[in-house]
With several copies, the nearest count.
Chain A
Amino acid sequence: MDPITLLTFFVLSVFVGFEVVSKVSSTLHTPLMSGANAIHGIILVGAIIVAGQAENVGLLIVALIAVLLATVNLVGGFVVTDRMLEMFGGRKQPAKATTEEGAR
């Protein structure tokens, strides 16, 4: 792909990233950080590609380490974020939560 196309993707993504996150409330800072953290675990795609092209055992081992690290980032990131948000979730609908508790 030509450099300017890549640059255009980059620039547009910068704007999207900036705009989407600006003005988020401080209560959500940690989950948002952790969610964004999970997203960059997508480097796993890159790690898989290099592991699939490794030409000797040495390179393969390094590539598999990258796959392992990236998997931990990706899977752990999404799971941890979900757990965190599970706890946050209810907090935002106190009325509903109360009803449910009352029903038990």
Chain B
Amino acid sequence: MSLLSIEATALLYLVAAVCFILALKGLSSPKSARRGNLIGAFGALVALVTVFLSTELDNLALIIATILVGSAIAAPISRRVAMTQMPQLVALFNGVGGGAAALVAMLELTHVEGIGAVIAVAFTVLVGAVSFSGSVITFAKLQELMPTRPIVFPGGPIVMSLVALASLAAAVWLVISGDPLASYVLLGLGLVLGVLFVLPVGGADVPIVISLLNAFTGLTVAASGLVLGNTLLLVAGTLVGASGTILTRAMASAMGRSVAGILFGAFKGGSTAGSTVASDRPVRSSSAEDVAILLGYAQRVIVVPGYGLAVAQAQHTMAELATTLEAKGIEVVFGIHPVAGRMPGHMNVLLAEANVPYEVLQEMDEVNPQFKTADVALVVGANDVVNPAAKSSPGSPIYGMPILDVASARQVVFLKRSMRPGFAGIENELLFEPQTTLLFGDAKESLTKVLGAVKAL
């Protein structure tokens, strides 16, 4: 149908673009974030209605059916997925977006005119493919379908460089010849490149890579806008590309890392996964019963959750333990480090899901002065975010990162499985301090035991 004039179409697309800007604006402030997201969704709706009303489309029924199928797949998954699996779902959605952009550009190849447009096609196909396969690998890593540690194989950097060069050659071929075959080759090489690109990234750095691939997909959508001469795609894609770039940098710096370091760290040897060698220095470990007694006779307990709590899915058990302690008149608060866990804000989401009331979740700045008066700091699957090396040893990779000051609590209890270090791969001196006790084991199992023992007190 062409119910809309060219002007009306352009105007409606502009409205959609403004909605997207407002969405991003809203999302960057906590108060307006949810409304911002809804404004974005509204903008998308406007754009969809516009495309249907303004363009002469064949295969209308098939298209609409496909959209319905897509929605029927995406909506329930998104609604049902556990909070812990959010990051991989976001990665997957990002990947399919990149894939779609690559396919759209390939299909437009035969229609475009001018060298500029063909360059945009080549860019979109290559980067879209990288984004697709890279996102699939991050998905697999986070979903633990494959090992989360960096995967490095001998000659990796050389293979990577060769594939990158080959992709460049295919892109040039495509631009010069306009041959569809070249676009298939480019697509294939892009897919391989994406895999090689993400394999050497360690599990905890994955969120940063997702954000980077997100920015990539944004740029491919912008390039598709150039190819199709569609202002909305251009503006929306560029917005995502630019804000995604800033966001990637912000995320990296919030955890004291550099983006280049993350991407090439594993190649260069200064791996992002750090050492995984367990220390053999003596520590004081104890039983679940001992920990239960410590907790049961405390007045103030501060819980510090971390990556391990998320991995062990122990948030519900932890919430129950907190409720049980509070029923005994013990004050329990949670100290949330901004980069604890797998993704920024992870702990807030996880604990909110486990119905931990908001007022006991405290940000780092709020909670830090309270450790002095706490009887027990219960560190559940966290390590780097409480490591005093961040303050005291200038050489360490986490030096300068603000940490939770658990060291000033009267007693510190660590729940972890072994003496292996955390993400940054450096030893935590706090483990060897006299006030520290360790309870070894999976966080969920340990917490279940402690919970039982506390109830039995």
Contact = CB atoms under 8 A, between A and B. Distances in A.
User: Within 8 Å by CB, do A and B touch in the complex?
Assistant: yes
Interface residues of A, number: 92
Residue in A41, A54, A83, A90 whose Cβ sees the most chain B Cβ within 10 Å:
A41
Interface string A91-103: 1111001100100
A20 B28 contact: yes
Nearest to B73: A72
B250 A29 contact: yes
Given A13-B235, A46-B224, A67 B348 contact: no
Interface string A26-46: 111111111111111111111
Contacts of A77: 90, 93, 97
Query: Interface size class for chain B?
Result: 35 or more
B103 A76 contact: no
A9 B239 CA distance: 10
Contacts of A78: 37, 40-41, 44
Interface string A61-94: 0111111111111111111111111111111111
Contacts of A69: 70, 96-97, 99-100, 103
A28 B73 contact: no
Interface in B220-252: 220-222, 224-226, 228-247, 250-251
Given A13-B238, A41-B93, A94 B58 contact: no
A35 B27 contact: yes
B353 A26 contact: no
A82 B42 CA distance: 13
Contact of A35 (B23, B51, B234): B23
B359 A97 contact: yes
A34 B254 CA distance: 18
A48 B93 contact: no
Interface string B35-64: 011101100100110011001111110110
A90 B358 contact: yes
A17 B241 contact: yes
A30 B297 CA distance: 38
A16 B240 CA distance: 10
A87 B251 CA distance: 21
Interface stretch (B104-112, B367-375, B448-456): B104-112
Contact of A17 (B27, B77, B243): B243
B207 interface: yes
Given A17-B239, A52-B63, A88 B73 contact: no
B369 to A, nearest CB: 18
Contacts of B229: 1
Interface of A: 1-54, 59-60, 62-94, 97-98, 101
Given A17-B242, A43-B97, A82-B41, 12 more contacts: A4-B10, A8-B14, A9-B238, A24-B29, A26-B345, A30-B345, A30-B349, A42-B20, A69-B96, A77-B97, A78-B40, A88-B349
